[in-house]
Each structure stands twice: as C-alpha cells, then as structure tokens.
Chain A
Amino acid sequence: METFVQSIVSGLLTGSLYAMIGVGLTVIFGVMRIINMAHGDMVMFGMYGAFLSITFLKIDPFLSILIWIPLAFFIGVFIYRFLLKKIVPAGELNTLLYTAGLSLFIANLVLLIATGDYRTIKLKYAIMPLRPFGISVPIPLAIAFGMAILITIALYWFLVRTDTGRAIRATSQEPEAAALMGVNVDRTAIITFALGTALACSAGVLLAPSLYLYPTVGEILVAKCFVIVVLGGLGSVPGAIAGGVLLGVVESLGAVYVSVPYKDAIGFVIFLLVLLFRPSGLFGVGKS
C-alpha cells in the first residue's frame, strides 16, 4: 500500500511538469496546426538555462525562471516570425519536417557548445527528501510541482479571462471565423507560439534539478510530449493537463508493478492504442 501511494505521489509530481510541456505543444498545435518537433529542445533550453544560472550567475534555478520565461517568450517570437511563419501555410507535413530540422540544428548547436557531457544541478537545501506520512518527496520536485501548478493556473486564467486568451481559443476552434470576428490571427499565432515556447522552457528550468542534462534530452521529451497531447486530444488544454498527469502516474506505477526498463514503453503502447481506437483523445475533446 505504501509503495502504491509512493508511486502515485511521484507520478503526480513528474506528471505536473509533463502537463506543462504538453500544454505548450497543444496550444501551438491548436492555433497553428504545427506539430512542433523542436518543442523538446525548448525544454532543453530551459534546463541549460537553469544550469547556467546556478553555475555562472549563482542564482537559484527556481528563481531564475523569472529571467528565462520572458527570454523564452522572445526566442519563441523570433523562431515563429523569422523561421516558421513562411512554412506554416505549406501544410502539416512540411512543418513537421521543418521543425525536425530545427530540432536537430538546435540540439547539435548545444552539443558543440556545451559538449555531450551529462550534467547535474546540486542544490544545497535539497540533499534529503521530505518525508510527510512516510512518503519520500524530493525537495526539488516538490518545489517544481508547486510552481508548475501556479504557472498552469496563471495560464488558464490568461486563456479564459483575457481578450488575447479568448482570441487564442477562438483561433484554435475556427481560424477563419475568428478572423472574420476581428481577431488578428497573425498576431495571435505569434503570441501562441511564444507562449508555448515559454511554457516548455520554464518546465525545463523546473525539471533541471531533478534530471540529467544533456543536449539531446529533447529527443526523448518530445516523444513523451506527443504521447501526452494525443492522450488528451490534440489541441485541448485540459486534455494535455490530464494527459501529462496520467502519463506521469502510469510511468511511475509501471516502474513499480511492471518493470523499470519497460516503463517508457508503456506510454508508447497506450499512445498507439489511443491513436488507433480513440484518435480524438481519451476524453474525446481534441480534434483529429
């Protein structure tokens, strides 16, 4: 019983961060129909950002998120405005290939600069895990969990309550109708892409103290990310949140009750089953 609760808790903690990455990918897909293969590399950016902050600037990684969110937003604006904008009308497959190229370019650029060495971030206050009710909770993951929830709530509020958020949701539902209602679709696309990038990057900052850092980490993360958004239905924000948490819990239960080496495969198997039998996602809200 204790192992069960323990694995549910660990799953929820990781799942909250998966959810953040997934939400980023899904809003981008919803508005622009881009399957962004470089999304994982934005997470990697955030992880290296956290590493740079603590090694060179001596800023706590969790605090450094205040620098990296706006920076990632501008990187997102730049990528969309100068690299992606002309490609998007060429169709989903071309953007898929283009962002795959972008992903390889970014990962290898970082590989050249930072080398392929595995790096870790050590926090002085995070040597021992917290132990509420006999359950072990690593401190960095607990802080990351709290911040992920705050960021997700802020995002939700933004999407539901602000005009820009409404414009994003409207464009996601029906771009032409949104344009006819006076939504500046082009501006909305830039903001959405930048927002998605900022989410991925801040998830990277939060994940950094709990994972190993290496330049091609994005490859694995982006694959997980697809699992998450397909589980929840592509284009659906609540779906991506649920999908992220679900994947986190399934992985951690799988590691305990199935086998550690196959825990990553479980996600992919579920992914295939959902794609084949419920292409609109487990909750039936996404668009296929």
Chain B
Amino acid sequence: MRKIVIVLAILLLFAAPWIVSAPFFIHLMIMVLMWTVLGASWNILGGFTGQVSFGHATFLGAGAYTTMILYLKLGIAPWYGIPIGGLVAALIALPIGFICFRLRGPYFALSTLAVAEIIRLVALNWESFTNGPVGLLITTLPEVTFGGKSIDWENKIPFYYIIAVIALAAIVATYIMSRTRLGAYSLAIREDIDSAEAIGINTVQTRVAALSLSAFFAGVAGGFYAMYFRYIDPDAVFSIALSVEMVFIAVVGGLTTVAGPLIGAIVLVTFGETFRQIFLVGHLIFYGLMMMIVIRYLPEGIWGKLRLWFVTRH
C-alpha cells in the first residue's frame, strides 16, 4: 500500500506539467518544490538534532552566489555550479558549526542569526566579488541539447524537472538519514544532549555533520534560485526573512518527518504565492498565522499529525 502511494506520488511529480500547463501553475509548483528542498534542508538539522537555526539563508546565499559567480566569471555552466554551490555551502557550514554549536538552545538560534547577518553585510559590501547591493544578473543561459533538441530556457518546464529531481534527492536523503546512525545520534541529541554525550556520542561532530548535510541542500536550492530567477542580490538571498521562512515550512509540515517539508511547502507556498498575486505584499501573514496555530495546537506539524492519525487508525 505504502509503496504504491510512493510510486504514484513520484509519477505524479514527473507528469504534473502535462496535466496542468498554465505558466502560473508551473511557477507555483517550482516554488513549492524549491521550498520543499529548503524545508527539508532545515529539517535535517532542526528536525533531527533539534538545533533551531535562524541563519539558514547563509547557505542558500552561498550556493546562489557560488553558482552565479562561477558562471559569470569562469563560464562554468550552472548545472555544475549548482552542486558545487551545495558543496561550498556545506564547507562554510563547518566553521559556523564548530563556533555556534558551543551554544545551546535559544543561544544557538541567536548566534546563527548573528552569523547570517554578518555574512549578509559582507556580501553587501564586498563589491569587487559580489557586486554589492546591485546584485548579479545572468542574461542568457548556455545552450544545452537534450535528446537531440535544444532546451528552451524561456520555458519553465525544464526548470520544473531540475527542481523536481533536487527535491526528490532531498526527500530521499532525509529518509536515508532517518535510517542511519547519523539520524539515530541526531535524535538522541535532540532528546537529551547530556545523555547523548554520556553514552559516548560525539555531539559536536554529529551536529556539525547534520548541519553540513543540511547546508548542502540549502546551497543546491540557492544555486537553483540563482538560475531560475537569473538575478540575485544580498538582500534577496541572505535575508533573515528567508531563514525564518525555511523554519516555518519545516515546522508547519512536521519536524523529523520525511514528507513534512513537502506538505509544509504545499500548504504555505501555495497560499503565499496566490496571496502575492492578489495583494502584492504581505504574503507572509499566513506563514505567521500558521506557525502560531501549529505550535499551539499541532506541535507535531500537519504531516506529523496526519501520519499519527493513519498509524493509530490502521
């Protein structure tokens, strides 16, 4: 039963552009999947190890800038740039992790916020490298042939497939993590860090590993962001608001669950993007409201609650 549902979901994921092809709908699905990756990224750290980061935009921004700068300055195509962006983000996560993980609970959260702000300010002012507040712009993407045909980058469908593959990878990675030692160690840390330490888990190493994996996916999503929007600036990719949105998607969907970030992204991004189409501003109002409702009434998140309901019923 479960296998059939998963296979159907994957088929639906890849067939969706044929079912509904309105440009807004494709854009919406691209956004949902991009935020699924970001939510999954945050979940790998926040959900499993219980470390609340308010600075994940750092990794998104690192990935976005790496992809963009590699393409503009060295001519390296974004499909190599995106995974490299992920790796750079994962590398940046190492020193950040070793510094910030000396702190616990809310103090860790505040320290990640401070690190993210410092990095945003550096990106804003290091003009020779990042072009400062003006940002970076790609006018054309390189030509690629796929199955004998040249891919049309003006069309959104190729982007849809790229992000669909990335989102699938992020979900599979979450699943694998939940089955491996890293996941088990992380959960032990989430439940009680002192006990985890006492039974011999290297809590710093485990948390840094989770952060690095998490940063990798945020960086990949950032690279995709740069390529899809073809324009980035420090306030767009390093903002506190982005970090907070990632937290909300993961928490609203359901922490520590495999499908939670997808559900969170579907609920929040669908509403947010539709709201943006109508009112232009203030689309995050629903994010705030949902967060308050979820923390108050559904601490296990929407998917967490549904899953619990399925489990107890069958």
Contacts and interface: CB of A to CB of B under 8 A. Distances in A.
Interface of A: 35, 83, 86-87, 90, 92-94, 96-98, 100-109, 111-112, 115-116, 216, 219, 223, 226-227, 230, 259, 261-262, 264-265, 268-269, 271-272, 275-276, 279, 288
Given A268-B114, A275-B111, A276-B99, A100 B244 contact: yes
B248 A101 contact: yes
A219 B287 contact: no
A104 B291 contact: yes
A2 to B, nearest CB: 27
24 contacts: A35-B109, A83-B292, A86-B296, A87-B295, A92-B106, A93-B105, A97-B52, A97-B291, A101-B290, A104-B284, A104-B287, A105-B292, A107-B288, A108-B282, A111-B285, A112-B279, A112-B281, A226-B114, A262-B125, A265-B117, A265-B121, A265-B122, A271-B111, A276-B102
A262 B114 CA distance: 13
B221 interface: no
A87 B296 contact: yes
Given A97-B251, A108-B285, A223-B114, A35 B291 contact: no
A66 to B, nearest CB: 31
B296 A276 contact: no
Nearest to A29: B106
Interface residues of B, number: 42
A14 B291 CA distance: 34
Contact of B52 (A96, A223, A259): A96
A261 B125 CA distance: 7
A94 B125 CA distance: 35
Contact of B291 (A101, A259, A271, A279): A101
A83 B292 CA distance: 9
Contacts of B115: 268, 272
Contacts of B113: 223, 226
B258 interface: no
Given A101-B248, A101-B288, A101-B289, A35 B106 contact: yes
Contact of A288 (B107, B290, B299): B107
A202 to B, nearest CB: 24
B287 A97 contact: no
A275 B102 CA distance: 9
Interface in B88-133: 99, 102-103, 105-107, 109-111, 113-115, 117-118, 121-122, 124-125
B240 interface: yes
Interface of B: 50, 52, 54, 99, 102-103, 105-107, 109-111, 113-115, 117-118, 121-122, 124-125, 240-241, 244, 247-248, 251, 279, 281-285, 287-292, 295-296, 299
Given A97-B291, A105-B285, A276-B102, 11 more contacts: A92-B106, A96-B106, A97-B247, A101-B288, A101-B290, A108-B285, A109-B282, A223-B240, A227-B114, A271-B110, A272-B115
Contacts of B107: 275, 279, 288
Contacts of B285: 104-105, 108-109, 111-112
A108 B288 contact: yes
Contact of B240 (A86, A109, A219, A272): A219
Contacts of B110: 35, 226, 230, 271, 275
A101 B281 contact: no
A288 B118 CA distance: 23
B292 A101 contact: yes
A230 B111 CA distance: 11
B138 to A, nearest CB: 26
Nearest to B51: A93
A219 B54 CA distance: 12
Contacts of B117: 223, 264-265, 268
